[in-house]
Amino acid sequence: MKRLLGTNNINANVRKGDLAERLFLTFAAGDAPGEGDRRCTSTHRSANLGWIRVDNKDGTTPINLRYSNKNGNALTALAYMYYGCRIGATSCTAVSTAGPANPPSAQ
């Protein structure tokens, strides 16, 4: 997470140890240096689209974050969206084609 957000100042509330966190960390691992397949995109990024959705047993969807931009790094943008969601600064159900420029801060 620190690598994707470009900061060591990560709010402790982002760590929850749940399914959403495990999914995000697995997804983010594909963007680590030497990992992922960068041949699939014209910009040589490991992904131009990122999507994390978690459904509860009762059918509700507490997290549904999706980022798409053929010229952007989906993993970095999705990290900003995920971080904002987890600290309560932004929506946990969002679709973006132009992710935030900076990590959100807790209010």
User: What confidence score (pLDDT) does residue 58 get?
Assistant: 93
Q: Among 57, 73, 74, which Cα is nearest to 65's?
A: 74
The count of domains in the chain is 1
In a domain, residue 102? The reply is no
Predicted local confidence at residue 97, as pLDDT: 72
16-22 long-range contacts (CB < 8 A, ≥24 apart) are 16/86, 19/54, 20/52, 20/54, 20/62, 20/63, 20/82, 20/86, 21/86
Structural domain contains residue 106: no
Domain that holds residue 28: 2-96
Chunked into runs of 10 residues, the chain (107 residues) has average pLDDT values of 67 75 81 63 66 89 85 77 86 75 51
For the whole model, what pTM was predicted?
0.72
Report the pLDDT value the prediction gives residue 6, as an integer from 0 to 100: 67
Give residue 107's pLDDT. 44
For residue 42, being part of any structural domain is answered with yes
Residue 103 lies in a domain: no
